Homo-oligomer: A and B are copies of this chain.
């Protein structure tokens, strides 16, 4: 296995974050995810907001290694992860918003596209950085389906419907990584998936 390129500035940044975080009781893999989120936002609030279900890391790494498809909500998230995906397991990578030309009546385009992706790949890794409507629709389907996603990264950002969407995800039994509260977004979603890709790649090297 080829090792991933590590820019020296990334290592220096991680060292600053380690120092400022100080002592914590996170498992190493969860801390690696948190550290990459802080690196991409310079916002230590995420240390209080990031939530992992007990099976999230193990299920996520296994799914990535098995080349499970990755479904993201919007193009910015895809853009933020595609280089790392290509360097590691080259999982199929779909942006929900690109799967449909127009939304179904009463729905957003990312919701419509996400449900189309779910019909095709119900066991995918779903990464939602922006669209709370898409996350709610996915949670509704999870509740009534025997097929479960391998992992849901649920980190939409914003002021309307975002907290409710994350609470809906928390109620499901699916392996999940969330950011509670209003924060999140494309950069956060990409940082979480990129951290998991690095962990999965290093675990098998």
Contact = CB atoms under 8 A, between A and B. Distances in A.
A2 interface: no
A9 B161 contact: yes
B76 A159 contact: no
28 contacts: A7-B108, A9-B158, A9-B161, A12-B159, A13-B158, A13-B160, A16-B159, A16-B160, A40-B185, A41-B157, A41-B183, A41-B185, A42-B158, A42-B159, A42-B182, A42-B184, A42-B185, A43-B43, A43-B183, A76-B76, A76-B79, A76-B186, A78-B79, A79-B79, A157-B187, A186-B186, A186-B187, A187-B187
Given A9-B161, A13-B160, A181 B42 contact: yes
Chain A to chain B: the 3 pairs with minimum beta-carbon distance, closest first: A42-B182, A79-B79, A13-B159
A45 B42 CA distance: 12
A52 to B, nearest CB: 20
Quickly give the copy total for this chain.
Answer: 2
A108 B8 CA distance: 11
A133 to B, nearest CB: 8
A108 B162 CA distance: 37
Contacts of A157: 40-42, 187
Residue among A39, A43, A108, A161 with max Cβ neighbours from chain B (10 Å):
A43
Contacts of A186: 76, 80, 186-187
Given A41-B183, A75-B79, 10 more contacts: A7-B108, A17-B159, A39-B159, A41-B157, A42-B184, A43-B43, A43-B183, A76-B80, A76-B186, A76-B187
Interface residues of A, number: 32
A134 interface: no
Interface in A65-96: 75-76, 78-80
Contacts of A169: none
A44 to B, nearest CB: 10
